[in-house]
Structure 1
Amino acid sequence: MATWTPLLKVFYSHKKMDPLFIIEKFYTPGTKPHQVLVDHSRIITEKSLEIARNLIHLNPDLEFIKKAAMLHDIGICLTRADSIGCNGEAPYICHGYLGRMLLDEQGLPPEYGLVCERHTGAGITKENIISSSLPLPQRDMVPISIEEKIICIADKYHSKNPKHADKKITTIQIIEELEKINKDHAQRFSAWAEEFNL
């Protein structure tokens, strides 16, 4: 596999890379996980582009956002999440860094994997991982680029859980939910929401 990686990098760095092609390497069309992932990813892609178009002065890469937002949750298949039909072995909180692993192994440019790894919550710090004994690699997983922040933010406005998929989520509700998880998450999201006029 390693001998093919350089060739894959050339292929996947091409502007015509199709996220659905990558998704279907890991998800069978017609299955619940595939449907949940693709539906959610399309909604998050649209929300991400909506946010990005209001931030043209920050020069976000719309083409990258279009593809990366479709792939941000690709790691869910490796986790246990009955409500969305995923029966992997890892806890759900691991889906971000596992998604990065999948995309890195496919030879995509590293920016795609970083979106996966850094979108969970409002990003997860190394300190948070250690203090809460989270089952994650001990490193900072917080959005850095404008594109990472946009996709991370957009992701909070829609639930993958089919029971809640039609529920409209407000910025205030997101902040309240993040506050229950960790105050740092809520503060980061609040700062981004203010910066991006959400």
Structure 2
Amino acid sequence: MGVESVLDYFSIIHRYLAPDSTAYPLYLIHCTLVTKLALEIAERLELNAAAQRFIEEAAMLHDIGIVRTQMPVIFCDGALPYLYHLTEGCKLLEAEGLLKHARVAQTHSGIVLTAERLRSVGLTADLIHFIPRSLEEKIINFADLFYSKDSATLWRERSVIEARNSIGKFAPANLALFDEWATTFGVN
């Protein structure tokens, strides 16, 4: 029986986002809060240790693509529109050899996306590529809805109503899916 290796996600984060950068604390706090909620859900669902470890790793890395995007409110000065953090995060994590983690980066906002929204920023991939499929992908997507990277609300967990309203604002057709996930994940 071999010892399972533990991914040093901080070394990956530091490779792309310098700890002394202005964006770093926002990234780290946001991802830590998302990870905490995702792990609470995983424990509630009694997922095994390997699944929980993957959720921890993938949730800490899910937003790594922000480094290539332009979003002044979170101090990102890349060249691409913010929604590209999904595809760029996927590319970065694929380059690290982390294919499952890359899938989380690409799908972690799937519930708030529409084909029209993707096209509006020039993303041509089919919406299906951004929809979470695995339970772990769904948990991280769901947990991400409860936290912002905006410094004004960084530490504040959104209520279920507020998270649901954020979906209604961008993808009202997905409200039933949010309700299903909230029930499945025991978040009321």
**TM > 0.5:** yes
Unaligned runs of 5+ in 1: 1-13
Residue in 2 that maps onto 1:171: 160
Kept in 1: contact 2:41–2:186 (CA 8 A) = no
Distance between the aligned counterparts of 2:139 and 2:160, measured in 1? 14
Amino acid at match of 1:129: A
Match 1:138 to one of 116, 120, 125: 125
Q: Could you tell me how far 1:130 is from its partner in structure 2?
A: 5.0
Q: Superposition RMSD on alpha carbons, in Å?
A: 2.0
Mapped partners of 1:170, 1:47: distance in 2: 13
The answer to whether structure 1 residue 190 and structure 2 residue 179 are counterparts is: yes
From the superposition, tell whether residues 154 and 132 of structure 1 become closer, same or farther in structure 2 (CA, over 3 Å): closer
Task: Count the aligned residue pairs.
Answer: 181
Structure 2 residue 82 is the aligned partner of structure 1 residue 96: no
Shift of 1:30: 1.6
Whole-Å separation in 2 of the counterparts to 1:123 and 1:60 = 28
Q: 2:140 aligns with which of 151, 172, 188?
A: 151
Query: 1:133 is aligned with what amino acid?
Result: R
Query: What do the CA deviations read for 1:133-187 (whole angstroms, capped 9, x no partner)?
Result: 2422422111111100111111111111101113331111111121111112322
Could you tell me the percent identity over the aligned residues?
A: 30
CA–CA separation in structure 2 for the residues paired with 1:144 and 1:123: 15
1-side partners of 2:48 and 2:181: how far apart?
13
How far did residue 57 of structure 1 move? 6.4
**What SS class does the counterpart of residue 16 from structure 2 fall into?**
coil
Mapped to 2, the partners of 1:106 and 1:123 lie a distance apart of 27
Deviations 1:14-66 (A, max 9, x none): 62211110011111112111111111111111111001100016998101011
What are the ranges of 5 or more consecutive residues in structure 2 without an aligned counterpart?
none
